[in-house]
Amino acid sequence: MKLGFIGLGIMGTPMAQNLLNAGHDMHVRTRSKVPAALQAAHVCATNADVARAADIIFLMLPDTPDVEAVLFGKDGVAEGLSAGKVVVDMSSISPMDTKAFAQKINALGCEYLDAPVSGGEVGAKAASLTIMVGGTEATFERIKPLFELMGKNITLVGGNGDGQTTKVANQIIVALNIAAVGEALLFASKAGADPAKVRAALMGGFASSRILEVHGERMIKRTFDPGFRIALHQKDLSLALSGAKAIGVSLPQTASAAQLMQACASNGWGQLDHSALVKSLELMAAHEVAPAK
């Protein structure tokens, strides 16, 4: 198939590579050097050129304004679309704006799926991402074989915007779990217990979770190289809180997690992995879960 991919970052590059490795004709657009893994792809001069060359165009971009600019800005995807093509936005952005973007793309005779992902860089490389999709069932079924090259848990949640709503819900759960694990390990450590042994004990009980397994280990080993940056998770929690305001819902624990991430960002830790949220808790306690190696 003739595919396009725009957004070759930490996540986008391995996702595009998995599509390319399956034998598809790949057209890419990037502002930086094309990664070595994608040297076999066709490099396009503009986003519009990607849309002209490809039948299905994937986006993996940082935030809502980035998606809007790529789609509808000068030399944007919309300028290169023709009837029957499909735009698949795998970024994590505003559900409300997603609905508006979909309507504009539909008006051009094209289909639109919002398909944000969870699983981080590890999941992108292993093609094991969770993919949450909003759009029509017919378009979903058409694109599903391509999703299966990038992920394992693939769900059509509902119409356009519902995929993004699901991702926001996912990020609420992940943030609150990171904060809970951080508080638990910090409490254990300052009380004099070995946090590594506490974590091992908890992994065998009802408190066990993927966050405790992966991010708990990061907190103990002080390995905060980004799989998913605090700055990006901040953006997702901002989407949650602005969305909650719009629909009249209170999310007090989400707001608390957002403030912990803000404290990290204020101290220059915004580019660290989101497991480094624990550093804001440590700052208040004047104690680290474990000494730096």
Which residues have a catalytic role annotated?
167
Between CA 172 and CA 210 the distance in angstroms is 15
Report residue 44 as tokens.
């396009």
Between CA 195 and CA 64 the distance in angstroms is 39
Query: Who's near 271: CB < 8 A, 6+ residues apart?
Result: 226, 229, 230, 231
Report residue 6 as tokens.
């725009």
Phi and psi at residue 121, to the nearest 5°:
-60, -40
Instruction: Evaluate whether 112 touches 89 at the Cβ level (below 8 Å).
Output: yes
Q: List the Cα angle 18/212/60 in 5-degree steps.
A: 30
Phi and psi at residue 117, to the nearest 5°:
-125, 160
3-class secondary structure per residue, 146-193: HHCCCEEEEEEEECCCHHHHHHHHHHHHHHHHHHHHHHHHHHHHHCCC
Pairing of strands 117-118, 129-134: antiparallel
